[in-house]
Structure 1
Amino acid sequence: MRNICMLLVAWLYCYGMHAQIIDKPNTPHYNADSIRDELDKGPYFTLFKDNYFIGGTSIGHKPTKQNSDVKFQISISQRLTKSKLPFNSFLFIEYTQKAFWNVFEKSLPMVDLNFNPGIGLGHLIIHQNRYIGKAGILIEHESNGKDSIYSRSWNRITFSGALLIEKNLEIQFKTWIPIIDGENNKDILKYCGIAQLATSYISENQRWGFTTILTKRSGWNLNFNTILEFNFRLFPKENQYFFVQYYNGYGECLLDYNKFRSRLRIGFVIKPRNFSNY
């Protein structure tokens, strides 16, 4: 693990680092000046990950008020600098909040809120004046804000990279160095994983897309948490999509990170421009 992390650090040093910025896979030709211009002209405040509101129930079981819920996520980022740092990189902060809401139970309780702030360094990767991907390093914290036996928290130094296979297909990879400070989740890597691989496809007219996200849990066996997502743009000129998400595995929420879930949810999503972060 140590050797892998050292290689990732070296790779990131050579190619620069990523945050949410204006991605332009459909206009891939750049020169040194245009790279800086794209960064500096881009919005400082933007979406970071998908922002969605979805509801559903367990797969393979009769729907009940205990295994049916609403899940929603809010994710934003703010660029703190222009592209004046080494490799035209820039500093940014991000905040993601994920909620699990039992709307079918009495009093409609919020079962778990997961808070995920972070600070990172980002940059596009350009090779021979062509956009080929992005990479990043992010220091992040995640907790559920509860106390006593219900408290869950951990910190990560996350290394991420993305490769544009073609203008409509991207592969993302990230891994992390965990710093586990939560007393009640010392075994969190067994369930929330040590690395993640995501593949995203966007149709030629950008009307629909499909994503697969695999999170490798710790251990030498092939144990993955799996997310399958499908989105369809409802109106051609609006950034609102019909959204279907299927989750299968552990670690969906921090409170019950060690409990298995297989849930299908449907709703809507607001996406960052072009490819999302995962």
Structure 2
Amino acid sequence: MADSLVEERVKDELETSEKPFVITPHKANYLLPVTYQTRPNSHPFEIKYPDEDIAVDEMEAKFQISFKFPLWYNVFGDNGHLFFAYTNQSYWQVYNKDASSPFRETNHEPEMFMLFNNDWEVAGLTNSFWGFGIVHQSNGQSQILSRSWNRIYGTMVFDRGPFALALKAWWRIPEDEKEDPTDPRGDDNPDIGDYMGNFELTGVYGLGDHRFTMLLRNNLSSDNRGAVEVTWSYPIIGNLRLYTQYFNGYGESLIDYNHHNQRIGIGVALNDIL
């Protein structure tokens, strides 16, 4: 049987975790200098700037920076590892010269989580890890463009050779209703769970040096909202990989949480699995 993708990832992380000035990847780190979206969402900006001619281009750049570092290994004897992580995902209208090439949206996602090693066998797969955490996600905007939510989540990782499967489910921490739409206090997006769902399932498959991933997110309701994201990567030099990404659904970014869109992009990535 081929080597386990999860074991390879853990081995690489342990080799660098105690080294100073070395950042450990959390989610995928990538740069997509060219992406095309089928339904650009200009509506939020038209509301905030009613006197300006706002147009979002179909073409834009997208990138993600994601890292983590251990706070405490073996919290409970020989198991239980506490981590802090941060993910930044940005959408850059770099080709929109008429609007001075602005950053259209940037999402910030700090989180803290506990991860436990495990060796349960389930349907031929090894449940290598399980854990739980708390995560905040926001776009750093104010008033009508502000989007944010806080969640408590649980996660389990299964693997067998070149295949890995991760299940993540969450519960949103409730917020007070706004008394006025312009009030900075209160819930910016009370219906976000209807679009972003309450769980996601991520599969990874390695075929030689190729890496394929698929993410499915849903809330299992009859309205069929959710999202799917598919990626492919292949090494080109050193740790640098050719990276392609396709997204279809709701909630690619917080500003678009209730907007359906499709996007395809190509670029480079530094790590091959989420």
Relative to the length of structure 1, the TM-score reads 0.77
Partners of 1:189 and 1:218 within 8 A in 2? no
Aligned: 1:167 with 2:161: yes
Q: Across the two proteins, how many residue pairs are aligned to each other? A: 236
Q: d(CA) in 1 for partners of 2:218 and 2:188?
A: 21
- Provide the rounded CA distance (Å) in 1 between the counterparts of 2:163 and 2:211: 10
User: Are 1:123 and 2:116 counterparts?
Assistant: yes
Q: In the alignment, is residue 143 of structure 1 matched against residue 126 of structure 2?
A: no
Q: Which amino acid aligns with 1:148?
A: Q
* Structure 1: runs of 5 or more not aligned: 1-21, 28-36
Report the equivalent of 1:219.
221
Q: Kindly tell me: are residues 257 and 131 of structure 1, through their superposed partners in 2, closer, same or farther at Cα, counting changes over 3 Å?
A: closer
- Identity among equivalent positions (%) equals 28
**For residues 220 and 158 of structure 2, what CA distance do their matches in structure 1 show?**
24
Deviation at 1:220, TM superposition (A): 3.4
Q: Is the 8 A contact 1:65 1:104 kept in 2?
A: no
Describe how 1:59-208 pairs up with structure 2 within 5 A.
59=38, 66-85=57-76, 88-106=79-97, 107-127=100-120, 132-164=127-159, 166-181=160-175, 183-203=187-207, 205=208, 207-208=209-210
Which digits, 9 at most, give the CA deviation of each residue in 1:215-248, with x for residues without a partner? Answer: 004623543301011111113xx22110110000
- What is the TM-score with the length of structure 2 in the denominator? 0.78
Give the AA of the match of 1:50.
Answer: A
1:246-266 Cα deviation digits (max 9, x unpaired): 000010111121111101010
Q: In 2, distance between residues paired with 1:39 and 1:108?
A: 37
AA of the residue aligned to 1:143 = S
Q: Which runs of 4+ in 1 moved over 4 A?
A: 37-42
Evaluate the alpha carbon distance shift between residue 60 and residue 187 of structure 1 in structure 2; reply closer, same or farther with a 3 A threshold: closer
Structure-2 separation of matches of 1:87 and 1:151: 42
Structure 1 residues 26 and 104, CA, compared in 2 at 3 Å: closer, same or farther? closer
Give structure 2 stretches of 5+ with no counterpart. 41-54, 176-185
